[in-house]
Amino acid sequence: MPALFNKSLDESANKSLSVLAVPAFNDNYLWLIHDGRLAAVVDPGDAQPILAALAAHGLTLAAILLTHHHADHVGGVQTLLQHYKVPVFGPAGEAIDGVTSPLREGDTATIPELGLSLSVLDVPGHTSGHIAYVAQGQPWLFCGDTLFAGGCGRLFEGSPAQMVASLAKLASLPGDTQVYCAHEYTISNLRFALAVEPDNARLVERMAAEQAKRARQQATVPSTIALENATNPFLRYLEPSIIASLQGDGRLTTKDGPVAAFAALREWKNNFK
């Protein structure tokens, strides 16, 4: 595990429930929502860090929540189910082994033992059936690989139009909503954002703050919806300064519409060094 990611656990508390970040692989975050006794895990790509965190904090697993089918988000499910017989919530639009409660937008994932209910949003784009969870009564968004701190997921299965619509749903959440995304991609995302929108003072300020966190081996997530709306180019793709950057590089013409602008921005990021 890289030095800047080599930290055990990071915790933020909200009333009686807390969210615990469990680092995994090179740059994943697996999330444990807990009350000090019971826990629900979001996107357990690897079972071992979760089992270790549960043991270290005296927690018992009560549920598994999945956002999409990629292995680094579901790879630990079967092992966890060998230790805990718990419900598994996941996207109705994707085939994931072990899911007992398939969900789509408008559904609610309820974990009564934790007093936790999460509203479900369909957010296709990264994958065709990707979902996100918005906690009820807590300012928490668990968005998998749809929205990142300073960026968004690659379009492996969905279309630019789908991702535009998905990100618009997330961008419209209250500004204080904490964004629990699944990867520590923030610095590389912000490098791209600065190339796209170099005169954004809030973005320059954010880069300095996030670099300082990483120098201290601290996580840069959760972010907030307000911060993403102010600095994330994939939520700001229609800003005149970003359109000018796209047009200046010949990536966009004056005849192209909003979806084409987003697609051009995503393609630029795909090849950004």
Question: Is 103 in a helix, a strand, or coil?
Answer: strand
- What is the spatial distance between Cα 53 and Cα 76, in angstroms, rounded to a whole number? 14
Which residue of the set 46, 72, 122, 130 is catalytic? 72
The helix or strand, by DSSP H or E, that contains position 264, with its residue range, turns out to be helix 258-270
How far is it between the farthest Cα atoms of the chain? Answer: 59
* 70 assigned binding-site residue: yes
Helices (H), the chain: 47-56, 71-74, 77-83, 160-171, 186-196, 201-215, 225-231, 240-248, 258-270
* 97 assigned binding-site residue: no
Task: State residue 247 phi and psi, 5-degree precision.
Answer: -70, -35
Active site residue 83: no
Which residue of the set 34, 43, 69, 126 is catalytic? 126
* 69 assigned binding-site residue: no
Active site residue 72: yes
Which residue of the set 34, 69, 70, 130 is catalytic? 70
Active site residue 70: yes
- What is the spatial distance between Cα 23 and Cα 3, in angstroms, rounded to a whole number? 12
Which residue of the set 34, 69, 130, 183 is catalytic? 183
* 130 assigned binding-site residue: no
Residue ranges at the known binding site: 68, 70, 72-73, 126, 145, 183
**Catalytic residue numbers, as ranges:** 68, 70, 72-73, 126, 145, 183
Please state the residue numbers annotated as binding site for Zn(2+).
68, 70, 72-73, 126, 145, 183
